[in-house]
Amino acid sequence: MNNTLAMTVDQGNRSVTLCFDIPQCDRVYFSTLPEKVQTEVWQRLKQMAFVAAAKKVNTACKQVAASLKSFARGFSWQRIRALFYQFTKGTDKFAAGDWRILVNWSKVGASRSELSPTFIEFWRMLCEQHQRVTSSAWRQLVFDIWRGRVPFQIKGKRYQQIPGYDVWPEAEPETDLPAGWSEGNLYNYTPDRYELAAARIGIQKASSLGFKIRTTRLGLKIGEFMEFDDHEFNVKVNFPGQMRSMRPRCFGAVDALSDCMFSMVIKPTFWDMDAQAKQVLSEKDFMWFVVAVLTHRGYRADIGTMLLVEHGTATVRGNKKLRIDNPLRDDFEKRIFDATGGKVRVDRGGRFHTKANPGQFAPPSGGNFRFKPHVEQFWRMLDDWLDAVKGQTGKGRDFAPEEMERTDAYNNKLLKVAQAMGVEDASKLILPRMTFDDFTNVATKVMGLINDDPDHACNSWEKCGFITKEYRAELSSTWNPLALLAREQHEVQALVSQSDLHFRVRRMTRAEADRTGTTELTPLPFEMIPSLVGPEYAGRPIPVIGGKFQFKDWRLGPDPLVFVAQDSSGHPLREGERFIPYCNPMSPDALVICDASGSVVSVCPPDLEPAKNDEAGVKAAMGAKNHWQAVKLAGQRARHAPAGSDVEFMKRHNAAVMDGKTVSPEDRQRQRNVKRFSGDAEVLAENTKHQTPNTKEDFSAEALL
């Protein structure tokens, strides 16, 4: 065939120059078409060039059709002739010689359809205004709009015609619908699932389907990023003193590098009978939780630490102005910043509060849970591991056990009966819900199991160096770090080097990875707690009674909290003196006391309370008591030390008399002096060395002095 790229063709009274090639300006767009379509267009361009160069069009078309019979089924010479005249004369959409006339658009896809772009946008708008299903939009288009053939109004805008059409489109005989209006074909033009979710629900829902930002832990350090969050367990438990079972709540903190939950505090949920509402965790509780993390775990004093919090309960306020409706200090963030020298900062992440399009009202503000992915996925794992304990509520309303309502009623009935019974009889009842203490122990244990599980899928783990090499001397023995292999005998070293059964390389657990960097963290001193939280969170002044501070906190349970009353030097405080206490309810292992002016006096340790069968603990408690007593009486013993010599003399003299021994003249004279003078025995003894009266008349206090 003729490979001419351009040719002039006569069309009646004018000549048209046809190009049988893809123009350079269209090459990029042409490359986006399917490969089969591109090949077909090149073949048709050659065919059109062959027909245009021939003297007779029909003869050339028959020759082309004959050459295509073996691989182009159904391509008659009449079809080739019709395509040639379309190519040379042009169509309604494309000019003469435009290569797009030769494209089989049915093989290209929905985006290259012949439907008007204006109509496609109108159809998309109809789909987006129907909140449930797209089929309702098709029914509205066909039955209400097209068959009605009257002006219509959608969302305040009035239309005289269907957008994209100058007149009302006519139906095709085969489908009784306008061309391209079949339900299946129009579905090819519907907005994608992200656009539909944004229009029908909102940006927050659509965000799970759209573009996401991926980050890696590679390059982080332990303590550089800490994620905080609150969580409500999918379990109902019985709380002390409550007449109904409820779901416990907790705070948790996860390190972004190690993925380890290094702190979790579970708190009971109480029911307020007056307000008929649950008393849940508050921002005040979260403030104390952050203080506990900074004083126990610490922060990075070299590169700083970022606290990732949310905008809800687990948040840290940063405004200096104190809001009336917020009991938490709004300058808590600034206090943390000042206490750490600017090394600890707070980031709350973004919020979903923008509308998807101008036709919507702005949605209520909501946080982005993907801002804290590590702590969020840890909650999911924790709930998965706890899904076999009693009292499951399901991960949502649609997954709640059907028996839950009746089980709650029976459990609450037993709680009321138990309250009227004695403690011994009530303990015999079998309740369908766990106690709060039992659940706390189980949840804490499961958290430790997750942290110690080496079978995890944390990304970039090997790149971060979180791998460990281990060996074992025998197949039945435990695995040991490879660093200890140097202490083994040569036989064991040879066995490990030759057998894979005695050597392994495994991933570190989350806890092991976390321990690699905890020594680089700097805990805040407990003495800084009053300046962190402010005086409004101090307790009532408490006195020193029996060398201890003792008080109760309903948030921590019915048992009293007892701390040793001592100053910063370890000396006991004055009995009966009152001090202002600061005790963290999230970690009540230290008591900070201040004087009336607010100055920190000391940090008091908790009082030892060993079990009766703990022999070592009892001895330690007795040693602490003896030390307290020795320090407490040290001043008194120093003040009365001189009187001790008189007691020693009395014992020595009486022993000599009872044994019939001779009393020395000095002791005899001292005996007479002690009996007749009530002064200082030590002074008398000192003076009698220099002057000894011989008669009663000579004896006087003046003479002795």
Residue 490: the pLDDT is 80
In this predicted model, what pLDDT tens digit does every residue of 405-416 receive, in sequence order?
999 999 999 999
Residue boundaries of the structural domains of the chain: 6-112, 117-191, 226-449, 467-507, 530-607, 643-704
Over 80: is that where the pLDDT of 576 sits? yes
What is the distance between the alpha carbons of residues 506 and 454, in angstroms, rounded to a whole number?
A: 8
Give, in order, the Cα–Cα distances in Å from 360 to each of 89, 199, 364, 584. 48, 8, 12, 46
**Confidence class for position 330, pLDDT limits 50, 70, 90:** low
What is the distance between the alpha carbons of residues 411 and 391, in angstroms, rounded to a whole number?
A: 10
Over 60: is that where the pLDDT of 86 sits? yes
* CA proximity to 480, closest of 496, 498, 499: 496
Q: What are phi and psi of 493, to 5 degrees?
A: -60, -40
We find that the CATH architecture of domain 226-449 is: 2-Layer Sandwich (3.30)
Four-CA torsion 193, 197, 199, 201, nearest 10 degrees: 170
What is the distance between the alpha carbons of residues 206 and 363, in angstroms, rounded to a whole number?
A: 13
What is the distance between the alpha carbons of residues 422 and 433, in angstroms, rounded to a whole number?
A: 20
In this predicted model, what pLDDT tens digit does every residue of 338-360 receive, in sequence order?
999 999 999 887 655 566 667 66
Q: Find the mean pLDDT for residues 83-112.
A: 80
What is the distance between the alpha carbons of residues 11 and 588, in angstroms, rounded to a whole number?
A: 98
In this predicted model, what pLDDT tens digit does every residue of 507-530 receive, in sequence order?
999 999 999 999 999 999 999 999
* β-pair partners for 226: 255, 307
Q: Which one-letter DSSP state was computed for residue 235?
A: B
* CA proximity to 595, closest of 568, 614, 630: 568
Three-state SS for 520?
helix
Three-state SS for 531?
helix
Residue 694: the pLDDT is 46
What is the distance between the alpha carbons of residues 157 and 160, in angstroms, rounded to a whole number?
A: 10
* CA proximity to 389, closest of 232, 231, 230, 237: 237
Q: What are phi and psi of 8, to 5 degrees?
A: -95, 130
Strand pairing category for 591-594 and 480-481:
unpaired
What is the distance between the alpha carbons of residues 527 and 653, in angstroms, rounded to a whole number?
A: 56
How distant is the alpha carbon of residue 451 from its chain centre?
A: 15
Tell me the average pLDDT of the chain: 83
Give, in order, the Cα–Cα distances in Å from 200 to each of 197, 204, 363, 366. 5, 11, 12, 17
What is the distance between the alpha carbons of residues 516 and 612, in angstroms, rounded to a whole number?
A: 38
Q: Where are the alpha helices (DSSP H) in 6-134?
A: 27-31, 35-53, 57-68, 77-89, 117-129
The residue type at 521? L
- Region of poorest pLDDT, from 4-13, 436-445, 461-470: 4-13
Token representation of residue 243 = 């007449």
- Environment class of 423 (CB within 10 Å of its CB; exposed 0-12, middle 13-18, buried 19+): exposed
Number of C-beta neighbours around residue 53 at 10 A: 15
Angle at 666 between CA 661 and CA 668, to 5 degrees: 60
**Confidence class for position 243, pLDDT limits 50, 70, 90:** confident
Number of C-beta neighbours around residue 618 at 10 A: 14
What is the distance between the alpha carbons of residues 79 and 692, in angstroms, rounded to a whole number?
A: 154
Residue 698: the pLDDT is 43
What is the distance between the alpha carbons of residues 50 and 60, in angstroms, rounded to a whole number?
A: 7
The residue type at 5? L
Q: Which H helix or E strand runs over 337?
A: helix 332-339
| pTM (predicted TM-score) | 0.71
pLDDT above 90 covers a percentage of the chain that reads 39
What is the distance between the alpha carbons of residues 295 and 342, in angstroms, rounded to a whole number?
A: 16
Q: What are phi and psi of 322, to 5 degrees?
A: -85, 120
How distant is the alpha carbon of residue 293 from its chain centre?
A: 14
Strand pairing category for 351-352 and 157-159:
unpaired
Give, in order, the Cα–Cα distances in Å from 579 to each of 193, 541, 601. 63, 5, 9
* CA proximity to 247, closest of 208, 279, 215, 217: 279
Residue 320: the pLDDT is 42
What is the distance between the alpha carbons of residues 367 and 352, in angstroms, rounded to a whole number?
A: 6
* CA proximity to 536, closest of 287, 319, 209: 287
